[in-house]
Structure 1
Amino acid sequence: MTLLVVGASGFLGAEVCRQAVAAGRRVVGTYHSGAVGVSGVAARRLDVTDRAAVRALLAEVRPDAVVSTPYRYDDWTITADGAAHVASASAQVRARLVHLSSDALHAGRPEPYADDDAPSPVFRYGAAKAAAETAVRLVDPGAVIVRTSLIVGEGSKQIQLCRDALAGRMSLFTDEVRCPVDVADLAAAVLELVDSDYAGPLNVAGADAVSRDELGLLVARHEGLDPAGMKTTTTVAAGLHRPTEVRLDSSRAAGLLRTRLRGVTELLG
């Protein structure tokens, strides 16, 4: 089969490409800036905000499946409009679509969020991810929408943030709780979903809920770093209005997939 990975130069997109190539799939990966540094991937430049360009590429490649991973935290047109363009073009060529979403579309609460809980965004990025989901579900009801959390692993932005805080260069939030997931686990789950007939939202996150400063302490222990100098703060003190406690209940995914979604305590233990 031919798999198109939109956003293949990103952290998750590149891992999806690596695993897909290793499994013998024909993979085409798109990038907007930078490069697709994965051997065996046919790299194509694509601006997902250009609807005509997206449609032209999919009409040319004719993929059997599309994994849509592109986003930019501060750019609505890429996160929301781009997702709509990819979904529309995928439906036009009858490709199976796996769309990557985020826990950022929830407002935050002590209780875990189920797969089918409606979005309740409280900041711009979360609203963009919610808008993207709405577009995808409208255009292609058969698509799977993967709601995930902080993505960790060697080379991840989240791990580097922890190292920076441990070095005193920035602060980690004590009141922001997430369910970090390993990039390899998430990519494997995405590829399983490509081959499935699951439709709709599905939580695919790690088994452990930890605060950002707890993640920093795990990184310190794993890498043998001194945690004494780690800087912390709260979202309130930092003047930010965004979700704090967002726990994803991934039990449905755990029962559906062969891939085991490890907790960050195991990953960094």
Structure 2
Amino acid sequence: MTVLVAGASGFLGAEVCRQAVAAGERVVGTYHSGVVEIAGVEAHRLDVTDRAAVRDLVARIRPTVVIGTPYRYGDWAVTADGAAHIAYAAAEVGARLVHISSDALHAGRSEPYGDDEPPTPIFAYGAAKAAAETAVRVIDPAAALVRTSLILGERSKQIQLCRDALAGRAALFTDELRCPIDVDDLAGAVLELAGSDYAGTLNVAGADAVSRAELGLLVARREGLDPTLLKTTTGVEVGVVRPTEVRLDFTRATALLRTRLRGVRELLAV
């Protein structure tokens, strides 16, 4: 296969590139403000908000698979319009599309969300992710849309935020619950889907539902830091409007994929 990873300079995009190269695929990665320094990846600078540029690059590469990972928090043009441009260009060349979505498009509730539940966004980023999904599904009904959660890894923003909260430089919410997933597991699942004919939305998340504050305590235990130093707050206290409890039911993904979706407690076990 020729795999085109849109957003290869990002945390997930880079891991998808590494695993695809290791599998012996030809890998092309795009970047905008970051850099792509992965051996075996052919890198191209691309502004996904430029529809003509996206179509031109995809037409020249003619990939077998396109994996859309780019996003920019608070930027509708990148998150929503960019996803539509990628989907349109992939459809023009007949490429298999795997689009990366997010649990942020749900409003939050105590019951887990199923794979096929419609978006219920309550803040701007969630609305942008919902719009992206809508565009992708209209343009390419055969595409796979991966709804995932907080992405973890040694260099992830989520783990660094926990370290910052333990050092008093940030605060973690006690009232925001998610299902964090390891970047290796997520990338493996994405590449499995790239080689399948699965169409529609699929929840791909970790086995454990934890609050951001609980995640911070797990990081403290693993790294031998004092958990009493963890600084916490709530969304209500700081006036943030975001989903609170968002659990993803990933039963379907477990049955469909070979990749094991580990829980955060296993990932951060001492």
TM-score range, shorter chain: over 0.9
1:1-269 to 2 correspondences below 5 Å? 1-269=1-269
Q: How much has 1:171 moved relative to structure 2?
A: 0.6
Distance of 2:252 and 2:216 partners within structure 1: 28
Q: How much has 1:242 moved relative to structure 2?
A: 0.8
Distance of 1:230 and 1:141 partners within structure 2: 45
Tell me the amino acid that sits aligned with residue 82 of structure 2: G
- Secondary structure at the aligned position of 1:237 is classed as helix
Q: How much has 1:228 moved relative to structure 2?
A: 1.1
Tell me the amino acid that sits aligned with residue 117 of structure 1: E
Distance of 2:164 and 2:154 partners within structure 1: 15
Identity across the alignment (%): 76
Distance of 1:14 and 1:7 partners within structure 2: 8
C-alpha offsets along residues 111-131 of structure 1, whole Å, 9 cap, x if unaligned? 000000100000000000000
Q: How much has 1:37 moved relative to structure 2?
A: 1.5
Distance of 1:103 and 1:47 partners within structure 2: 25
Distance of 1:114 and 1:267 partners within structure 2: 24
Aligned length: 269
Let me know the Cα RMSD of the aligned residues: 0.4
Distance of 1:108 and 1:34 partners within structure 2: 32
Q: How much has 1:160 moved relative to structure 2?
A: 0.2
Tell me the amino acid that sits aligned with residue 74 of structure 1: G
Q: How much has 1:180 moved relative to structure 2?
A: 0.1
Tell me the amino acid that sits aligned with residue 56 of structure 1: D
- Secondary structure at the aligned position of 1:236 is classed as helix
Distance of 2:191 and 2:222 partners within structure 1: 29
| 5+ long unaligned stretches in structure 2 | none
Distance of 1:169 and 1:99 partners within structure 2: 34
Distance of 2:72 and 2:141 partners within structure 1: 24
Distance of 2:248 and 2:34 partners within structure 1: 32
Distance of 1:33 and 1:27 partners within structure 2: 19
| 5+ long unaligned stretches in structure 1 | none
Q: How much has 1:33 moved relative to structure 2?
A: 1.1
- Secondary structure at the aligned position of 2:243 is classed as coil
Distance of 2:34 and 2:50 partners within structure 1: 18
C-alpha offsets along residues 98-154 of structure 1, whole Å, 9 cap, x if unaligned? 000000000000000000010000000000000000000000000000000000011
- Secondary structure at the aligned position of 2:238 is classed as coil
Distance of 2:27 and 2:54 partners within structure 1: 17
Distance of 2:14 and 2:72 partners within structure 1: 16
Tell me the amino acid that sits aligned with residue 252 of structure 1: R
After the TM superposition, which parts of structure 1 deviate over 4 Å for at least 4 consecutive aligned residues? none
Tell me the amino acid that sits aligned with residue 102 of structure 1: S
Q: How much has 1:74 moved relative to structure 2?
A: 1.0
- Secondary structure at the aligned position of 2:193 is classed as helix
C-alpha offsets along residues 169-224 of structure 1, whole Å, 9 cap, x if unaligned? 11100000000000000000000000000000000000000000000000001111
Distance of 1:238 and 1:245 partners within structure 2: 17
Distance of 1:24 and 1:142 partners within structure 2: 25
Distance of 1:125 and 1:214 partners within structure 2: 24
